[in-house]
């Protein structure tokens, strides 16, 4: 996924630079290094005109996808950022909110979760919102997402312990593993599926698809999608840059 993102970024940059006219480049106040890159890319396009048509098509597709992403975020801002039905932690009045698309049966989600908790401790102006999506349990009537959401909304004092136990288990969850967690947290009654919780999970799926996401984990930070797992040494600079804007 990260490779695909890098390829898209490179294609977009190439196309964007191609679309700039020489006069526009000269009129703009750009760092010298940036101007050199623009000139280099322009020359490469002139030397390889056979790639122009494909690049032009890719740019149009990228612009459409970007526009769709912005539209989906704007239309669902309250649902993503201000919905008390989603598990969340961190600042009550955050300077920056991280939306975390996660799955309790995803090993990389389990690895990223403590990274986000560490960042919230280091940067108290941060907030994290979990959008639970049971991709690996799609065919199960009861799953870790509906179970966790049921606890968050009906027995919040038990949520932290429940969430940690769900994360701690290696591999995917099933009815047996969920029952074990429920017994340890005295939440067996909350294993039962509820219509409103299932509707929320369905909505999570819908947004996941509309945002063009293909797997978990994925982060939505200040309008930017960051797919896949990142260790703290790579994610922290992104967070610091966003906070300093």
Q: What is the pLDDT of residue 2?
A: 40
- 79-244 domain in CATH 3.40.30.10? yes
Contacts of 207 (CB under 8 A, 6+ apart): 72, 76, 79, 80, 131
- How far apart are alpha carbons 147 and 67 in whole angstroms? 35
Which tens digits make up the pLDDT trace of 217-241?
999 999 999 999 999 999 999 999 9
Pairing of strands 224-227, 126-132: unpaired
Is residue 204 packed enough to be buried (19+ CB in 10 Å), middle (13-18) or exposed (0-12)?
buried
Which tens digits make up the pLDDT trace of 20-51?
444 444 445 667 878 888 887 888 778 888 87
* Torsion of Cα atoms, 166 then 171 then 177 then 181, to 10°: -20
- The residue among 71, 92, 50, 95 whose CA lies nearest residue 221 is 95
Helix segments in 83-174, DSSP class H: 107-122, 144-154, 159-168
Q: What is the pLDDT of residue 138?
A: 78
Q: What is this structure's pTM?
A: 0.74
Tell me which DSSP letter residue 157 carries. G
Which tens digits make up the pLDDT trace of 82-133?
999 999 999 999 999 999 999 999 999 999 999 999 999 999 999 999 999 9
Domain-wise residue ranges, the chain: 2-74, 79-244
């Amino acid at each position: 996924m990260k490779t695909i993102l890098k390829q898209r970024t490179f294609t977009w940059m190439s196309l964007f630079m191609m679309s700039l006219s020489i006069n526009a480049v000269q009129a703009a106040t750009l760092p010298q290094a940036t101007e050199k890159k623009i000139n280099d890319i322009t020359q490469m396009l002139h030397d390889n005109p056979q790639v122009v048509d494909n690049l032009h098509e890719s740019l149009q597709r990228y612009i459409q996808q970007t526009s769709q992403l912005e539209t989906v975020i704007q239309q669902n801002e309250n649902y993503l950022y201000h919905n008390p039905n989603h598990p969340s932690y961190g600042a009550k009045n955050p300077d920056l909110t991280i939306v975390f698309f996660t799955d309790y049966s995803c090993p990389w989600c389990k690895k990223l979760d403590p990274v986000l908790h560490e960042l919230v401790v280091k940067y108290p102006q941060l907030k994290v919102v979990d959008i639970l999506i049971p991709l690996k349990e799609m065919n199960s009537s009861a799953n870790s997402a509906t179970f966790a959401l049921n606890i968050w909304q009906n027995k919040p004092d038990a949520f932290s312990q429940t969430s940690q136990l769900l994360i701690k288990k290696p591999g995917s969850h099933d009815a047996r593993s969920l029952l074990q967690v429920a017994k340890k947290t005295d939440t067996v009654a909350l294993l039962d599926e509820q219509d409103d919780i299932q509707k929320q999970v369905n909505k999570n799926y819908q947004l996941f698809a509309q945002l063009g996401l293909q797997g978990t984990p994925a982060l939505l930070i200040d309008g930017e999608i960051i797919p896949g797992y990142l260790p703290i040494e790579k994610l922290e600079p992104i967070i610091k840059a966003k906070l300093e804007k």
